[in-house]
Amino acid sequence: KAPQYSWSPVPPFQLRGEPVQDLTTNSGFVSFDITSRHVEGKRLDTTVWNLLNFYAYVEYRIKCSRGYIQRRMRKGMDSLVKKMEDANTLRSLRSFRFNQWWISLPKFSSNPSNKSYTKLD
């Protein structure tokens, strides 16, 4: 089983007496309760390895989460930009067709001798 842990924004009592500048953090402190069963036999190497790599693991997970959030935000922004471009294209097509509706072209007579224009209906 994994050891119990606790998180606190205040430094644990084991770190009392350390300089204040060494204890300033942005996130807080994590304490693990390591018991004798965590260090018996072959488990000692695994426990030490996990404790030494805990910071790297947390940092990796935070970077992955940050990348995931940024990807989702970019994807959402791209879809919004696409919708805006589609709306602008549709609006310009509507105005173009609307303007064409009012353009009146003269009808020419099929009789070549009559070169006058005819009134539109």
Task: Give the separation between CA 29 and CA 12, rounded to whole angstroms.
Answer: 7
pLDDT in tens, 18-53: 887 777 777 788 888 888 888 898 889 989 998 999
- For the chain, which residues make up each domain, given as ranges? 1-40, 53-92
Helix ranges (DSSP H) in 12-120? 43-52, 54-102
5 bridge partner residues: 32
**φ/ψ (deg, to 5) at 38:** -80, -15
> pTM for the full model?
0.53
